[in-house]
Amino acid sequence: MMDSPVLRFCLLVAMLAAFLQGCTAPEPASGITSLAQAYQGRLRLGAAVEPGQLSTSEGRLLAAQFNSVVAENVMKPSRIQPSENEFNFAPADAIVDFAQQHDMAVRGHTLLWYKRTPDWFWSGKDGQPASRDLVLSRLRQHIETVVGRYKGKIYTWDVVNEVIDPAQSDCLRHDQWLQVVGPDYIDWAFRYAHAADPNARLIINDYSTTLPAKRLCLQRVVQGLLARGVPVHGVGHQMHISIFEPAVAEVDETLVVFARLGLENQITEMDMSLYQRHTYLLPDSVDRLLPVQGQRYEALMKVFLSHPELTAVTWWGISDAHTSRNAGWDWWRSDAPLLFDSQQHPKPAYWGALKAVQGLSPAAK
């Protein structure tokens, strides 16, 4: 029987499957300190996730190392309401359920983003362009339904995403929202969200907030919102950065600007590329770049900890196995922007982030 060619073939297949599983589904390193626990009482630490990752070893790493979670894609308008009044809640529910099972907070991303507004928003009866009133009533319906469903489960929402454009004199992105509704679409989005969940922290989220022109524009727009009594509670800094830029001091200056306005700061989509902007080759060997990344993560986390109004840091991914830096047009890259490597082991980036908080005296935490 042992010599049966069928049995030998089956054994070979089983060994191959076990080997492949070992390659594709590494176990997260055990026995390392939970970063979220080390930061407990000071900052919420989170990561973006797709529902398919939850049941994998990345899901286990997420639950072990972080205490907050955000949907990388499945809560965006075109995903959660692909057709008018047809909501696709199951993928988003899976993430919220996972968070509840593991006692984690949930960030909501996002209620309005020009890149993920479904086309049906813009067409009215008989294929005519939708009127301002129709678009606003759809926005209200969308926000009421989505925020209402997760009321009490999602503690903070990126209400509007990437609405600032420093190249425009009014500082606003000249997209369909502005063209069809006018600049007050932002006010309405915040008002609808606040009505749907008065306890949720409402955030205006954007990228490159450390660039002086962008920062100034964001400040102008936020001051306008505050002056009109719009319920905006904080600024979300995406923080898709690199090991080269921005300078740590520029990050600090940006946070100070919004802290002075009495607002909360959140870091919402952090990752740190090893590439210099607009270049296609890694500038050095990965072995030499990773410690640089670790030191920079340490310095940045120290700045974040020095800001009492900064409440949360969320990474745009769990480990380098799944990062938007190596996706889409950049599929061919071998970037490594997160805290854990593609085998889900802690990188110098993780040790840097841990060192930043361990250096604090208990009283300062």
End-to-end CA distance of the chain: 66
Q: Which CB, 56 or 324, lies closer to ligand XIL?
A: 324
Least separation in angstroms between CB 228 and ligand XIL: 25
Which of 295, 324, 342, 343 is close enough to bind ligand XIL by CB under 6 A? 324
Is 269 annotated as catalytic?
A: yes
Q: How far is Cα 258 from Cα 235, in angstroms, rounded to an integer?
A: 7
238 binds ligand XIL (CB under 6 A): yes
- Write out the binding residues for ligand XIL, residues 189-218 only, by CB under 6 A: none
Range list of β-strands (E), 165-321: 201-206, 234-237, 240-242, 264-273, 310-315
| DSSP-derived secondary structure for 153-172 | T--EEEEEES-B-TTSTT-B
Examine residue 319 and tell whether it contacts ligand XIL (CB under 6 A). Answer: no
Q: Which is nearer to ligand XIL, 18 or 327 (CB)?
A: 327
Among the listed residues 112, 124, 126, the one whose alpha carbon sits nearest the alpha carbon of residue 84: 124
CB of 327 to ligand XIL, least distance (A): 6
For residue 329, the Cα-to-chain-centroid distance in whole angstroms is: 20
In the region spanning residues 288 to 307, those forming contacts with ligand XIL, defined by CB under 6 A, are none
Q: Which of 58, 72, 269, 298 is catalytic?
A: 269
- Binding-site residue total for ligand XIL (CB under 6 A)? 7
- 312 or 357: whose CB is closer to ligand XIL? 312
Cα–Cα distance measured from residue 93 to residue 100, given in angstroms and rounded to the nearest whole number = 10
Here the tokens at position 171 are 């500082």
Per CB under 6 A, which of residues 5..64 are in contact with ligand XIL? Answer: none
Q: Lay out the site mask for ligand XIL across 326-345 (x = CB under 6 A, - = otherwise).
A: -x------------------
Measured in whole angstroms, the distance separating CA 145 from the mean position of its chain's CA atoms is: 22
Which of 286, 327 has the CB closer to ligand XIL?
A: 327
Q: Is the dihedral of CA 338, 39, 344, 161 positive or negative?
A: negative
> Which residue lies nearer to ligand XIL by CB, 72 or 298?
72
User: Binder to ligand XIL among 33, 40, 56, 73 (CB under 6 A)?
Assistant: 73
CA distance 60 to 63: 5
78 binds ligand XIL (CB under 6 A): no
**Mask of contacts with ligand XIL, 149-168, x by CB under 6 A?**
------------x-------
Tell me which of 58, 162, 264, 298 is the catalytic residue: 162
Query: 316 vs 351, which CB is nearer to ligand XIL?
Result: 316
CA dihedral 185, 314, 115, 54 (to 10 degrees): -120
Which residue, judged by CB position, is nearest to ligand XIL in the bound state?
324
DSSP track, 106-162: EEEEEEEEGGG--GGGGB-GGGPBPPHHHHHHHHHHHHHHHHHHTTTT--EEEEEES
253 is catalytic: no
Binding residues for ligand XIL, rule: CB under 6 A, are: 72-73, 161, 238, 269, 324, 327
Catalytic residues: 162, 269
